[in-house]
Amino acid sequence: MSKFLLTLAYHGAGFCGFQVQKQQRSIQSTMQDAIEQIYGERLPVVGCSRTDAGVHARDYKLTFVTDQSHPCIQLQRIPMALNAALPSDIAVLDAEEVPLDFHVRHDVYEKEYEYLIHDGPIRSPFYTDTVYHYKHRLDAEKLNAAAQAFLGTHDFRGFMAAGSDIGDTVRTVHSVRVFRSNDGLIHIRISANGFLYNMVRIIVGTLLAVAEGRIDSDSLSSVIDSGDRTRAGITVPAHGLYLNRVEFLRKEK
């Protein structure tokens, strides 16, 4: 048997998220369809995270296992073969063979998400479904300074969706950066050892509340420590969010 690790990029607007859902289009089922076309059998696939509907990815990872008796496809040709069977809003960027005991979720050391904001009174039709439109001008330097309160290990139970069934809500944020790129967009980039459901989108909403003066930047540490969801900001829309990078503890074959 062989286990393969795929790197994907996809435009999330047309998907209900990663996980299979009845009568909806998911990343998982779309990849299974393509793999079935290539290998002649519907194989299970395991993803590195359960992304929401509308969230995009530049570096999503998933694995599948195939028996050696299946038709042999050279490793370097797997992306081309799968892309020929995939729709235009998803692509396989890379494929590599990994040990059978490698786990695409449990062996993750760090994930990085990025949220994109177009700030200004006039929305751009070119950013539909890919960038969040915020109508007021933002001070990237001010938000970057405020965002440093999220660094380190905290209990982020106040920064997850209500009703989430998660026992351990402690996460370690390795880095957070807010900056304006040359194209004028605001980028909010956060890396951590893991994320709670909607955690990044609530952090972004909280930073926007700081920009609006509804939360004092000096009180962000208190907001985090309180664990009170009502003290944090809104959950911003999914379409501005990208899974940007995934790093593993090990994956060598």
CB atoms within 10 A of CB 29: 18
Nearest to 209 by CA among 238, 187, 232: 232
Cα–Cα distance, 60 to 24 (Å, whole number): 20
Which tokens sit at 176? Answer: 């957070």
52 is annotated as an active-site residue: yes
The DSSP call for residue 120 is: S
The neighbouring-strand residues paired with 66 are 2
Catalytic member of 33, 52, 129, 165: 52
Tell me the C-alpha distance between 196 and 168, whole Å. Answer: 9
Residues with a catalytic annotation lie at 52
